[in-house]
A and B are shown apart, each in its own frame.
Chain A
């Protein structure tokens, strides 16, 4: 019993050390004015840098562009992924292994290679710079994540509900709207959330296909990191991390909820 409790505490410490501690340090760095080695804490604190970052025009523009790119990419991702994940989860794919491999390729290829390849491909297709090639490039990485997450949820989806609806006289559209979408909602929400988070965090896949014209928070953040102001960079990092953190927090409860409920109490 004691061993189990101790290992539980150790697990929590590792988890907090890997997540909360870096964020805490980042938070302190964002309000630190004079923080020199080997001081454990900053000598002076000020919220000025955070305030400035939040109100700067380029930050607001980057946030807006990041949101637009992320949301549009997410919508397109889900439109493409829902039928695919459904077919995959419900046994409608004849050769699942090659399909999984193809879907996963963009996530295992080095990002720089993928970014360059997609950049050239989108330019050849006539999309030179701007948000459209960026969204197309983001799809390459959002689709695999969204597909795998949704397919995982849908393996627990029981199509008997749909058969019941059809027998009761429901059209295909009614089945989709009143049975599939509500029952699959937790999976769809989590899948869409991760598609947005993945899109939001892309740096190379934004910079190269966008030709430097599409500035999202990660692009701004890397540019700031190569400057010499760690306090401004930390403040910008917090701004960058905030939307995905809020999105994941909002959907966290769906990660635990069973998808299809057909069993009796």
Chain B
């Protein structure tokens, strides 16, 4: 079973009178979907999960599961499963006892638990580990156990608080696929907090960005990444090139030239446009929406080269498949379709 999660103006403070760790946060997570939450450390992501789980009370606002108010429902009765960055498997219990913990708490018989535990362990490729101690498993295996422990009691809601953060990259990739398939199979409604933009994009049906305790953006992942509406969201998502000028008839007039931007629509007056670094191009010849520049910095980033181009409008950061010549003069192109306005 899955539920729709609704947070409405939820506020939380760790100290009365202190700064709000959650500041009127509103979010709707449709039943059976995954919403990924991105945000810097300390922005309130984990606090929001704790409020949903019921381990922290909200100071104000409302939380509903399928329209049912959760404020007075104890954590043990909310029907939630949670996976944290560390697996937090009970070290004194076997792997099987860990997976069956939620079932035991609900009075499921030992026999019934054993069958369910074997089924879940088999589902994540850990057959035959039920009698082992958690510390005999690798980090990735422990996190898989934590995942099925959170799902074995058939919760309505699955909360994932950076569950892949401390795993090796190749293990992370497999765990992402596993999480996606388990959510699809069980129909559980999931919220996953992550620092990793790629992970958020790969896993989320929706993606939200939290900044300073507030929900700064929430949309389909591709939209949030391609066109973050606010400058601080864009900056958090890796955008560092912003053009300020005056908008009129789908064009932005700046001190260094005029830039066509269809996304401006009918906007008029002072506006700021932004562009993601992977959409910036270099061109030997001047083109529409280009600026004369000199490459002042080139760094190899593993899969691409990152460069900083010095233009009359300031630094423009871009990515290239081959290394640009440091110190070379060229043109940097900001394609019309790649520019988007930010507030």
Binding site for B on A (CB under 8 A): 158, 160-161, 163-171, 174, 178-179, 182-183, 260-265
Contact = CB atoms under 8 A, between A and B. Distances in A.
A260 B89 CA distance: 11
A182 B92 contact: yes
B80 to A, nearest CB: 6
A263 B105 contact: no
Contacts of A261: 91, 135
Interface residues of B, number: 31
A264 B75 contact: no
A264 B153 contact: no
Contact of A169 (B55, B87, B102, B142): B102
Nearest to A183: B92
A182 to B, nearest CB: 4
B76 to A, nearest CB: 5
Given A264-B139, A265-B138, A168 B149 contact: yes
A237 B280 CA distance: 87
Nearest to A174: B105
Contacts of B106: 169
A166 B88 contact: no
B41 interface: no
A136 B216 CA distance: 61
List of 7 A-B pairs having minimum Cβ-Cβ separation, nearest first: A169-B105, A261-B91, A168-B102, A264-B139, A182-B92, A170-B105, A166-B75
Given A174-B105, A264-B139, A169 B88 contact: no
B139 A169 contact: no
Contacts of B102: 168-169
Contacts of A158: 88
A161 B90 contact: yes
Among A166, A168, A183, A262, the one with the most B-chain Cβ atoms within 10 Å of its Cβ is A168
B76 A171 contact: yes
Contacts of A262: 86-88, 91
Contact of B55 (A167, A170, A174): A167
Contacts of B135: 261, 265
B84 interface: yes
A183 B55 contact: no
Among B78, B101, B142, the one with the most A-chain Cβ atoms within 10 Å of its Cβ is B101
A179 B76 contact: no
B15 to A, nearest CB: 13
A169 B153 contact: yes
Contact of A265 (B74, B101, B139, B153): B139
Nearest to A172: B76
B81 to A, nearest CB: 7
Nearest to A160: B88
Given A183-B92, A260-B91, 20 more contacts: A160-B88, A163-B55, A163-B75, A165-B101, A167-B53, A167-B80, A168-B102, A169-B76, A169-B102, A170-B76, A171-B105, A174-B105, A178-B101, A183-B91, A261-B135, A262-B86, A264-B86, A264-B87, A264-B166, A265-B135
B284 interface: no
B101 to A, nearest CB: 5
Interface in B139-193: 139, 142, 149-150, 153, 166
A184 to B, nearest CB: 10
Contact of B86 (A166, A168, A263): A263
